[in-house]
Amino acid sequence: MNDSRQISYRILDASANRAAEGIRTIEEFARFGLEDSDSAGAAKALRHELAAALSQLNRTELLTARDTDADVGTTLQTAAEYSRTEIADVITAAAERVQQSLRVLEEYGKTIDVEFARRIESLRYRAYTHHRRIELQAMAHRRTRRLAEAVLYLLIDCGSSESMFVETIRSLSQAGVDVFQLRDKQASDRELFERAKVGAAIAKDCDALFIVNDRADIALSADADGVHVGQDELPATMARRVLGGGRLVGVSTHDIAQVHQAIADGADYIGCGPTFPSTTKSFDAHAGTAFLEQVHAETRQTPRPAFAIGGINPQNLDQVTACGFHRIAVTAAINDADDPAAAARALRRRLDASAG
Ligand SMILES: Cc1ncc(COP(=O)(O)OP(=O)(O)O)c(N)n1
Ligand SMILES: Cc1nc(C(=O)O)sc1CCOP(=O)(O)O
Ligand SMILES: [Mg+2]
């Protein structure tokens, strides 16, 4: 059995390595993924200050206490350690590891050197702030990357049951739907919230995005990827304020002035329509394909994903792609099809082909 000083040193040595590795993991993403010099600089400063604090400890005792071969923890693994598919998950895991390790350094450090423990405590608080920022950046990175490649966007309602709702998202994401929007004007707030919570988790699992129509509060509380607002709802700037950083805000536009405003307001994407008469929603007038052509000309200068919407179906899709639009948002063309998955697959194939 080791004596207590040796135990403390062994724990400090392991935790110091873990904290430094975690900080480095985060720093690499800030540097090479986000290319954010502030964030990378903050991680580097944390790493250097950790090294400076550790130099207060006796390095010989640290190294002497190390016995990796005899460490029973090296063979203990959880399924979660190997289930990271997204960079955002890697960053979250690294941030948690750093914070836990700093806490361990602080607690066991108190048994060796109180001044060292104090330095680690202040480092831990700085790490919380830095990690909050970088975790939000990593989540935003996943969402904007996914949005940038999205071409097929589907509006869905709450469905007849939760299991049907889940199955719809799973099967249609496999069939090529990139973005799901929960749009159900009849559902209660509670029902929207419950479906949004489940839908957001399933969509993430399927590498799809999940957006809530109209309601920034429900999008945030359900941990959805974002909200879609129209001209009668919260302005995009306010929706963003409700959602905080890292989530998407989409805006409906019906004329070019609204497109300019949405872009100025920082919309992540726009819906452009109505293109054709729709069986889902009735309109007094239709912006038509002329509007799509105009938007296409404009958004070449200010790139922002733009989804054509309103009555789009397999019969009129070519008119949409002829305007330079290779992204569409639909309801009836998929939901009312005899075989929704087949309909989604067919639309997806044609959109991919048209985008070349
Ligand atoms: C992708 C997308 N584009 C446009 C709309 C329409 O939004 P809005 O004008 O707010 O109308 P409602 O959907 O709330 O009836 C949309 N939902 N999605
Ligand atoms: C909800 C909605 N908003 C539109 C707009 O132009 O702003 S068109 C539309 C209906 C979309 O469903 P479908 O594909 O069945 O027409
Ligand atoms: Mg709306």
Is residue 337 classed exposed, middle or buried when 0-12, 13-18 and 19+ CB atoms within 10 A define those classes? middle
Q: Ligand 1: which residues within 6 Å by Cβ? A: 153, 155, 181, 183, 213-214, 228, 230, 233, 250, 252, 271, 281, 307, 309, 329
**pLDDT over 90 percentage in the chain:** 83
Q: Average pLDDT in the 111-119 region?
A: 95
Q: What is the pLDDT of residue 70?
A: 73
**Identity of residue 202:** I
Per-residue confidence (pLDDT) for residue 85, from 0 to 100: 67
Give residue for tokens 């309909």. Answer: 343
- Nearest residue by C-alpha to atom 8 in ligand 1: 230
- Are 297 and 120 spatial neighbours (Cβ–Cβ below 8 Å)? no
Contact present, 196 and 216 (Cβ < 8 Å): no
Residue 268 CA from chain centroid, whole number? 13
* Confidence at residue 119, expressed as pLDDT on a 0 to 100 scale: 97
From 326, 146, 300, 172, select the one nearest 226 (Cα to Cα).
Answer: 146
- Nearest one of 206, 260, 263, 268 to 243, comparing CA atoms: 268
In eight-state DSSP terms, residue 141 is H
Distance 232 CA to ligand 3 centre (A): 7
- Element (H or E) spanning 24, and its range? helix 4-28
Higher pLDDT pick, 69 / 190: 190
Q: Which contiguous run of DSSP H or E holds residue 158?
A: none
Give the three-state DSSP class for 145: helix
pLDDT digits (tens, 9 = 90+) for 222-280: 999 999 999 999 999 999 999 987 899 999 999 999 999 999 999 999 999 999 999 99
Contact (Cβ atoms closer than 8 angstroms) between residue 221 and residue 200: no
Residues with C-beta atoms within 5 A of ion ligand 3 = 214, 230
pLDDT at residue 84 above 80? no
Q: Cα separation of 270 and 105, whole Å?
A: 48
- Tell me the pLDDT band of 192, cut-offs 50, 70 and 90: very high
284-342: per-residue pLDDT in tens? 999 999 999 999 998 776 678 999 999 999 999 999 999 999 999 999 999 999 999 99
Ligand nearest to the CA of 281: 2
Q: Are 308 and 327 in contact (CB under 8 A)?
A: yes
At residue 2 the predicted structure's pLDDT band, cuts being 50, 70 and 90, is low
State the pLDDT at residue 302.
67
The chain-wide mean pLDDT, for the chain, equals 93
Mean pLDDT value across residues 53-64: 88
**Cα–Cα distance measured from residue 183 to residue 196, given in angstroms and rounded to the nearest whole number:** 10
Cβ(67)–Cβ(40) below 8 Å: no
Answer whether 273 contacts ligand 2 (Cβ < 6 A).
Answer: yes
pLDDT of the residue at 165:
98
Average pLDDT over every residue of 53-77: 79
Is residue 12 a contact partner of residue 64, using CB atoms and an 8 Å limit? no
| 139 vs 213, higher pLDDT | 213
> How many Å apart are CA 224 and CA 243, to the nearest integer?
10
Cβ of residue 181 lying under 6 Å from some atom of ligand 2: no
What pLDDT does 1 receive? 43
pLDDT digits (tens, 9 = 90+) for 146-179: 999 999 999 999 999 999 999 999 999 999 999 9
H or E element in which residue 33 lies? none
Residue 114 Cα distances to 46, 102, 107, 117, angstroms: 20, 14, 10, 5
Query: Going by CA atoms, what residue is nearest to atom 3 of ligand 1?
Result: 271
Distance CA 262, CA 256 (A): 10
Q: What pLDDT does residue 19 have?
A: 96
Atom of ligand 1 at shortest range from CA of 307: 1
Residue length, the chain?
Answer: 356
**Residue whose C-alpha is closest to residue 224's, from 206, 262, 198:** 198
Check whether 316 is labelled as a binding-site residue: no
Cα distance between residue 191 and residue 162, in whole Å: 10
pLDDT for 53 beyond 80: yes
The answer to whether the CB of 281 is under 6 A from ligand 2 is yes
pLDDT higher than threshold 80 for residue 39: yes
- 223-239 core/surface letters (b: 16 or more CB in 10 A; e: else): ebbbbbbeeebbebeeb
The mean pLDDT value for 13-35 works out to 95
Q: What is the ipTM of this complex?
A: 0.99
- The answer to whether 311 is annotated as binding is yes
User: What's the confidence (pLDDT) of residue 221?
Assistant: 98
The annotation status of 280 as a binding-site residue, yes or no, is yes
Q: How far is the CA of 293 from the centre of ligand 2 (A)?
A: 18
Tell whether the model's pLDDT for residue 354 goes beyond 50.
yes
Task: Check pocket membership of 137 for ligand 2, CB cut-off 6 A.
Answer: no
3 state SS of 304: coil
Domains parsed from the chain with CATH numbers = 4-144 (1.20.1260), 150-355 (3.20.20.70)
